[in-house]
Amino acid sequence: MRQPHDAVREHLVRVLDWEDAHVTFDKAVAGIPPETRGTRPPGFEHSSWQLLEHIRIAQDDILDFCVNATYEHNLTWPDDYWPPTPAPANAAAWDASIAACTRSRERLQQLAREIDDLAATVPTGKANHTYLRAILLAADHVAYHVGQIVSVRKALGVWG
């Protein structure tokens, strides 16, 4: 029998990659020409590569926080959350980063479906650091930077 919280869980699963109010991560990163992946358009602080890698690093960190019983926050802001170079080393690095983002998103979706209590505090977190908060944080963070990727693409003339 369907439980009331099942609807919330399925909404969380969808919010991690929906396009109800914006472009999906998958569409935002698809088809970016290799020669523009490391380009910062005038007036922009980051390239598509830097935004992609930032999404990957942060989302992987949020997932690790949720599933690793011995998680320790060792990343330093901002240096550890952004790649050191504006461009990927090669196409394989670009593809690997997209694949890693997809894997961690899918694992967060699985977590939304399977965790016993979404309102429970993550064992290595503070009192208000619940699984629900972590999943929403990941979704919100990705959505924000997906918008930036689209803006960078538009500025470079490689969108749409």
Domains annotated on the chain, with CATH: 4-156 (1.20.120.450)
pLDDT tens per residue across span 107-118: 999 999 999 999
**Band of residue 3 on the pLDDT scale cut at 50, 70, 90:** low
* C-alpha R_g of the chain: 17
As a whole number of angstroms, the longest Cα–Cα distance in the chain is 55
CA-CA distance, 122 to 153, in Å (whole number)? 37
What is the per-residue DSSP string for 104-154?
HHHHHHHHHHH-S-TTSBPTTS-TT-BHHHHHHHHHHHHHHHHHHHHHHHH
**% of residues, the chain, pLDDT over 70:** 98
pLDDT tens per residue across span 109-145: 999 999 999 999 999 999 999 999 999 999 999 999 9
Report the amino acid identity of residue 157.
Answer: G
Single pTM value for the model: 0.95
